[in-house]
Structure formats: structure tokens, C-alpha cells
């Protein structure tokens, strides 16, 4: 572990999560427990020995726990500990901050639709809904459920059983969906470029458009 020798919370944090690829490992585990093979596939480009080293250090630091897969006892599953889960606000803040460099578009960059769950969560976390309901976002082949709470905050997760009770469904590619939620695209422009809304379009607009 690198030491900065500074009595500062940022320096101490970076001693544990500041190495290359580490925060992307955290991102994947925020989406759910994963096997080594799952992580190697999701983090396309990371050398196998480097992934093993990052996971080993995260275990030593108490951010990640390894357990036997109950469905296949020959396989190990990695999950975040409570300390590791505590990184979610920092990850969401960095996603919002990093959006500045996404305005030029995707280009040749790889995109995993699963990342949309964290992206939508990051974009909606500081907003307050003025109406209640549930939306199902279909983004690049995955479903993301967006529900409002009684306090007006948003609950965003991978679509599951709650998706069947959605008041509206919004479908589109990742750039259109994230462009709409971030405010980079107007609803009219997003629709012109192929975004589709089924069900309560007024609710969809109220919850997604800043």
C-alpha cells in the first residue's frame, strides 16, 4: 500500500482506493457480488494478475469479502463489506463530475448497460420528485427501475419484480437516456432521435427531466 504520510482523510482514502482500476472494481461490486471471471469480463483490459492483486488488497483493507458461491462451491464470490459500500456516495459524485468529459459522446469506448443503474442513480440523487410513481427504463437491453419515495427522493435499482407495476416505460439507447436525464437533451430532441415512452408520458417527463 502506498503511503502519502499526510494526516488527511483524502490522503488516507487514496492510500486504499487510489490505485488504477481499484475504483472500477468497486463500481462493479456496487452493482452486486461478482466472481473473479465476472470481474475480468466486466473490466475488459485489466491484466489478470493486476485484478488478483487489487482484490487481494481490497480484502486486506476490509473493503471486500470473499465467500464460496452457494451454487458452485468451487467458485469464489466477491462482495463489498459495509466499509466498501460506504464508497457509493463518492462513486456517484465522481460519475456526476466525470460527466463533463462525456459530452463529446461515446466514440469507440465500450459501454456496459449495467453501468446505467449507477449513472441514473447519480443523476437523480439530489433531485426531489414533485409527483409519485414508478418508471421502467429500458437501456441497451437491461431494465432500470426508478421509483419515488414518500419524501420525494428516488430509488433506482436494476429492474425486477417492481418493474411489472411501472406506470410508464421509457426505451432508448444509453446516450439518449442519459442525455435526457442529465438535461443535455430536451424531451423533444430525445424523441426525435428515437427515445420512446409508453404509458404515462407526463409522469415520465416529470421524473426524468431536470
Residue 45 backbone class (left: φ over 0; alpha: ψ -120 to 50; beta: rest): left
pLDDT score at 150: 79
More confident residue, 1 or 123: 123
Does 160 have pLDDT greater than 80?
no
* pTM of the shown model: 0.91
Between 21 and 141, name the one with better pLDDT: 21
Answer yes or no: is pLDDT of 72 > 90: no
Domains assigned to the chain: 9-86 (1.10.10.10), 90-208 (3.30.1050.10)
pLDDT at res. 2: 80
Q: Report which of 177, 104, 107 is spatially closest to residue 140, judged by C-alpha positions.
A: 177
Q: Is 165 left (phi over 0), alpha (psi -120 to 50) or beta?
A: alpha
pLDDT, position 5: 94
Q: In this predicted model, which residue has the larger pLDDT, 7 or 160?
A: 7
CB 154 within 8 A of CB 165: no
Nearest to 118, CA basis, from 139, 141, 148, 149 = 139
Computed from CA positions of residues 77, 14, 112, 121, in that sequence, does the dihedral angle turn out positive or negative? positive
Give the span between the Cα atoms of 47 and 134, in whole angstroms: 40
Location of C-alpha cell 456496487: 30
Mean pLDDT for 172-200 is 92
pLDDT in tens, 95-119: 999 988 887 778 889 999 999 999 9
Q: What is the C-alpha to C-alpha distance for residues 147 and 143, in angstroms, rounded to an integer?
A: 13
The confidence score (pLDDT) of residue 71 equals: 82
**What is the pLDDT at residue 164?**
63
Q: Residue 24 has what pLDDT?
A: 98
For residue range 109-155, what is the model confidence (pLDDT) as tens digits? Answer: 999 999 999 999 999 999 999 888 999 999 988 999 999 887 889 99
Residue 200's nearest CA partner among 173, 178, 168, 154 is 168
pLDDT tens digits, 27-71: 999 999 999 999 999 999 999 999 999 999 999 999 999 999 888
For residue 161, name the pLDDT band (cuts at 50, 70, 90). low
pLDDT score, position 23? 98
Cell of 94: 465522481
pLDDT digits (tens, 9 = 90+) for 79-92: 999 999 999 999 99
Amino acid at each position: 500500500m502506498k503511503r502519502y504520510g499526510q494526516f488527511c482523510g483524502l490522503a488516507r482514502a487514496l492510500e486504499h482506493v487510489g490505485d488504477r482500476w481499484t475504483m472500477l472494481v468497486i463500481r462493479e461490486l456496487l452493482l452486486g457480488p461478482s466472481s473473479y471471471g465476472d470481474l475480468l469480463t466486466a473490466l475488459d483490459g485489466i491484466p489478470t494478475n493486476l485484478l488478483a492483486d487489487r482484490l487481494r488488497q481490497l480484502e486486506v483493507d476490509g473493503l471486500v469479502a470473499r465467500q464460496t458461491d452457494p451454487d458452485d462451491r468451487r467458485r469464489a464470490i466477491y462482495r463489498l463489506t459495509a466499509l466498501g459500500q460506504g464508497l457509493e456516495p463518492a462513486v456517484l459524485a465522481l460519475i456526476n463530475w466525470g460527466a463533463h468529459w462525456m459530452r463529446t459522446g461515446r466514440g469507440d469506448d465500450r459501454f456496459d448497460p449495467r453501468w446505467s443503474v449507477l449513472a441514473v442513480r447519480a443523476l437523480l440523487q439530489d433531485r426531489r420528485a414533485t409527483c409519485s410513481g414508478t418508471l421502467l427504463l429500458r437501456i441497451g437491453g437491461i431494465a432500470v427501475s426508478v421509483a419515488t419515495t414518500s419524501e420525494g427522493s428516488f430509488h433506482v435499482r436494476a429492474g425486477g419484480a417492481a418493474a411489472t407495476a411501472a406506470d410508464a416505460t421509457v426505451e432508448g439507447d444509453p446516450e439518449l437516456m442519459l442525455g435526457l436525464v442529465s438535461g443535455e437533451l430536451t424531451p423533444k430532441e430525445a424523441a426525435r432521435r428515437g427515445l420512446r415512452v409508453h404509458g404515462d408520458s407526463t409522469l415520465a417527463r416529470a421524473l426524468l427531466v431536470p
